[in-house]
């Protein structure tokens, strides 16, 4: 027989399922619950269809979106019909900009941080703002989605159980030391490289790593001309298109 006030499984006699009871002891405690939340929101790295359902919902509901380049982000937001106040926040934004965003959060505004592409904070601005938010007792919530590093790795054909992510390699100081540490690494090493430095970097790697080191280069991930070049340090150059490299690249090496 149906219980008049709803069954012990949370369902009412009308057959409707009730929300689970709110249990404050399991909720994170923040000093001031009236503060806004900072959502670290991943956006597509090329294919606009890669915005997650949850990320779309967050971008639609926050009060403010902090982004690197407002013109660039408008392409994504217009595609999804999202109209929100935008505030530019990039690698050269100083403390004043951080303070401004923190003030919005303290005033109760929810803020989404996005970058030009991929996951904010991963070789993209974010760290300083996230640190400041945490220092101010503001809740920081990750909204996961695309990132070039994982997109490249998962289809690389190289071991992915352990990997070492180096972001962008230093242009001068520390470059040789890093190459040497790659030679010693048992793990797949992943880094981002600009098209105009790609061939120079391969040439330098050849001097330090074994010729049979496995290499996968991922180009223009999720875009029309997405390509994976797979080979060894010895033959990878021959596999790349002739002429100056163009586009965006992730390089992965593994001392097999
Ligand atoms: N935060 C981003 C992420 O989560 O992937 C990375 C931003 S970092 C400033 C930009 C670099 O990521 C590019 O120079 C390139 O090396 C790599 N990248 C971004 N999008 C890419 C894509 N579609 N294909 C290949 N590499 C990409």
Q: Detail the DSSP E strand segments found in the chain.
A: 38-41, 64-67, 86-88, 111-113, 140-143, 163-168, 188-193, 214-219, 227-232, 249-254
Expressed in angstroms and rounded, the spacing between residue 2 Cα and the centre of ligand 1 is 57
Residues 81 and 182 placed together within one structural domain of the fold = no
User: Could you tell me if residue 27 is inside a domain?
Assistant: no
Of 175, 235, 172, 241, residue with least CA distance to 206 = 235
Q: How far is CA 193 from CA 148, 190, 245, in A?
A: 11, 10, 11
169 and 227 inside one domain: yes
CATH of the domain at 123: 3.40.1010.10
Q: pLDDT tens across 183-242, in order?
A: 999 999 999 999 999 999 999 999 999 999 999 999 999 999 999 999 999 999 999 998
Domain boundary among 143, 164, 179: 143
- Quick one: pLDDT band at residue 14, thresholds 50, 70, 90? low
- Ligand 1 centroid to Cα of residue 17, in Å, is 43
Which of 143, 170, 192 is a domain's end point? 143
Q: How much is the average pLDDT of 115-136?
A: 97
Task: Give the pocket of ligand 1 (CB within 6 Å).
Answer: 45-46, 115, 117-119, 122-124, 147-149, 192-194, 218, 220-223, 248-250
Q: Which of 52, 30, 27 is nearest to 42 (CA)?
A: 52
Domain presence at residue 101: yes
Whether residue 39 is found in the same domain as residue 111: yes
Question: DSSP class of residue 171?
Answer: S
Q: Is residue 94 a part of any domain in this protein?
A: yes
pLDDT for the residue 15: 56
Tokens representing residue 117 in the block: 């592409």
Would you say residue 22 lies in a domain?
no
Nearest alpha-carbon partner for 228 in 249, 206, 244, 199: 249
* The ligand 1 atom nearest the CA atom of 152: 25
In terms of residues, how long is the chain? 256
What per-residue confidence (pLDDT) applies to 7? 41
Tell how strand 64-67 and strand 111-113 pair up. Answer: parallel
User: Is residue 17 one of the residues assigned to a domain?
Assistant: no
pLDDT band at 30 (very low <50, low <70, confident <90, very high): low
Structural domain ending residue among the three candidates 109, 143, 177:
143
Same-domain pairing of 122 and 177: no
Beta bridge partners of 11: 17
> Which pLDDT tens digit goes with each residue over 64-118?
999 999 999 999 999 999 999 999 999 888 899 999 999 999 999 999 999 999 9
- pLDDT value at residue 92: 85
Q: What global pTM score does this model have?
A: 0.87
Give percent of the chain above pLDDT 90: 82
Tell me the residue range of the domain where 57 lies.
Answer: 33-143
Whether residue 153 lies inside any domain: the answer is: yes
Strand 227-232's sheet: what is its strand order?
163-168, 188-193, 249-254, 214-219, 227-232
**For range 41-45, the mean pLDDT:** 98
């Amino acid at each position: 027989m149906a219980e008049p006030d709803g069954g012990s499984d949370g369902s009412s006699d009308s057959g409707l399922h009730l929300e689970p009871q709110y249990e404050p002891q399991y909720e994170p405690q923040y000093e001031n619950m009236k503060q806004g939340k900072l959502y670290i929101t991943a956006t597509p790295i090329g294919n606009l269809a890669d915005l997650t359902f949850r990320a779309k919902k967050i971008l639609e509901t926050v009060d403010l979106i902090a982004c690197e380049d407002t013109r660039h982000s408008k392409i994504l937001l217009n595609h999804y019909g999202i109209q929100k106040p935008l505030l530019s926040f990039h690698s050269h934004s100083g403390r004043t900009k951080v303070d401004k965003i923190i003030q919005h959060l303290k005033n109760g505004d929810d803020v989404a941080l996005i970058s030009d592409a991929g996951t904010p904070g991963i070789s993209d601005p974010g760290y300083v703002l996230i640190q400041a938010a945490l220092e101010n007792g503001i809740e920081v919530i990750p909204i996961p989605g695309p990132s070039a590093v994982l997109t490249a790795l998962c289809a690389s054909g190289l071991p992915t159980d352990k990997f070492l992510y180096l972001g962008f390699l230093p242009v001068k100081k520390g470059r040789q030391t890093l190459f040497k540490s790659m030679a010693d690494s048992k793990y797949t090493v992943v880094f981002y490289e600009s098209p105009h430095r790609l061939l120079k970097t391969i040439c330098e790697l050849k001097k330090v790593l074994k010729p049979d080191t496995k290499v996968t280069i991922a180009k223009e991930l999720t875009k029309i001309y997405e390509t994976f070049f797979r080979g060894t340090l010895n033959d990878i150059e021959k596999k790349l298109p002739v002429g100056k490299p163009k586009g965006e690249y992730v390089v992965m090496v593994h001392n097999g």
